[in-house]
Copies of this chain bind each other. A is one copy, B any other.
Amino acid sequence: MKLKHILESQQFTVPMLMELFERTNQMKKIVARGGTRDYHNKIMCNLFYQPSTRTRFSFESAMHRLGGSVISTEQATEFSSEIKGEMLEDTIQIISNYCDAIVLRHGEEGGAKRAAAVSPVPIINAGDGSGGQHPTQALLDLYTIFNECHSLDGLSVAFVGALDYGRTARSLAYLLSKFERVKLYFIAPEETQIKQDILDHLEEKNVSYELANSTQSFLSKVNVLYQTRIPRERLLNQDMDLSPFYIDSASLQKMKSDSIVMHPLPRSVEINPVIDTDPRAAYFRQAQNGLFVRMALLTMLFDTD
C-alpha cells in the first residue's frame, strides 16, 4: 500500500495500520542487523518552523538507518534573510527540488495540508499548531500498545493528565476507537478534561468510556496507563493537589503484572523515575518505537508499489 502524504492519523484505516505495524516489525529486525542501504539515493528534508530536537533526531535516525541522507533546519521561519513571512507554498515548491520527502513542523493548524496541496514529494506532518495533528506520534503510540499487549481489541486504556489540549491523548483515543471492545478512561482535573468532540465520536462508534479525577480506582483495571503532563498554569486552583494523577511505586503495585505505563515524553513530575526499572515502564521503549515506526512510514512513502 503506497502512501502519498502523512497528514493526520485519521487517514489510516485498520488494514493500513496493520501493514504499518508489520513493516515496523521488519524495521526492528533491520536495525538489529545494522540498518539497510536500500534508500541510499533518498534525501529527507526536516523543515521545522519550531525546534523539536527529539522529533527531528527520531526522523533523522530513521532516515540514516535506511541508508538515506538528510537536510535539516529548525529555524525555517528565518528561511530567507530577505523576506519575512514567505509563503509556505513557495518554500515547499522550492525545497521539494532538493529532497524526496519533507518532514514539516509548522506553527499553524492546517500547514501540512497546505504544503501537501503543492508538493510533488511526500509531506510528513510532524506537528502543525497546538490544535493540529502529529500523526507519527499517534502511530508510534498505537504500535507500542499493539507490540506490548499483542492486540488492540478488548483493551482498557486510561489517559491521565490535562487532556483537553492533549494532542497525543486525543489522536490515540481516536485511533483506538477503530478496534473492538475497547474501554477508555479519561482521568483529568475537571477543567482540563477531554473535549466533547472526542466523546461524541466514541459514542458514535459505540466505544465505552468513563471520566474521573483520580487514577486510584482504575489502576487495577487497565492494560495501558497513558500518562501526560498537567501544567499548573492551566488549573483554576493552581495549588490543587495533583498527587491523584501522579504515578509512583505504590501506583504500580496496584496495576496488573502485564499492564504498561506510557508517556509521550518529556516527563515532568507525573512519573516518578523510581519506576523506570519496572518492566511495565514502557515509555523509553515507546520512544524507541518512534524510530521503527518512522522508518516504516518512510518506506511506505518511498516504495513505488
Number of this chain's copies in the assembly equals 3
Residues 51-89 (chain A) with a chain B CB within 8 angstroms: 51-54, 56-58, 60-61, 64-65, 69-71, 73-76, 78-83, 86-87, 89
Of the stretches A146-154, A196-204, A261-269, the one at the interface is A261-269
Query: What is the CB-to-nearest-CB distance from A45 to chain B, in angstroms, rounded to a whole number?
Result: 7
Of the stretches A36-44, A186-194, A240-248, the one at the interface is A36-44
The CA of A290 and the CA of B97, in the complex, are separated in Å by 9
A179 within 8 A of B: no
Interface pair A71/B61, CB less than 8 Å apart: yes
Query: What is the CB-to-nearest-CB distance from A140 to chain B, in angstroms, rounded to a whole number?
Result: 12
Query: What is the CB-to-nearest-CB distance from A231 to chain B, in angstroms, rounded to a whole number?
Result: 9
The CA of A265 and the CA of B58, in the complex, are separated in Å by 31
Interface pair A57/B71, CB less than 8 Å apart: yes
Query: What is the CB-to-nearest-CB distance from A16 to chain B, in angstroms, rounded to a whole number?
Result: 25
Residue of A65, A69, A74, A284 with highest tally of chain B CB at under 10 A: A69
Query: What is the CB-to-nearest-CB distance from A118 to chain B, in angstroms, rounded to a whole number?
Result: 9
Indicate whether A57 sits within 8 Å of B69 (C-beta atoms), given known contacts A93-B284, A267-B90.
Answer: no
The CA of A76 and the CA of B56, in the complex, are separated in Å by 12
A280 within 8 A of B: no
A157 within 8 A of B: no
Query: What is the CB-to-nearest-CB distance from A83 to chain B, in angstroms, rounded to a whole number?
Result: 5
The CA of A182 and the CA of B30, in the complex, are separated in Å by 52
Interface pair B79/A54, CB less than 8 Å apart: yes
A229 within 8 A of B: yes
CB pairs A–B below 8 angstroms (16 shown): A45-B57, A50-B81, A51-B75, A53-B76, A57-B71, A60-B71, A61-B97, A64-B71, A74-B75, A82-B229, A83-B229, A86-B266, A89-B273, A94-B265, A94-B287, A97-B291
Known: A57-B73, A61-B98, A97-B291. 7 other contacts (CB 8 A): A52-B81, A53-B75, A54-B94, A60-B71, A74-B75, A97-B287, A97-B290
- Show the binding face of A for B, using Cβ within 8 Å: 34-35, 37, 40-41, 43, 45, 50-54, 56-58, 60-61, 64-65, 69-71, 73-76, 78-83, 86-87, 89-91, 93-95, 97-99, 229, 265-268, 273, 284, 287-288, 290-291
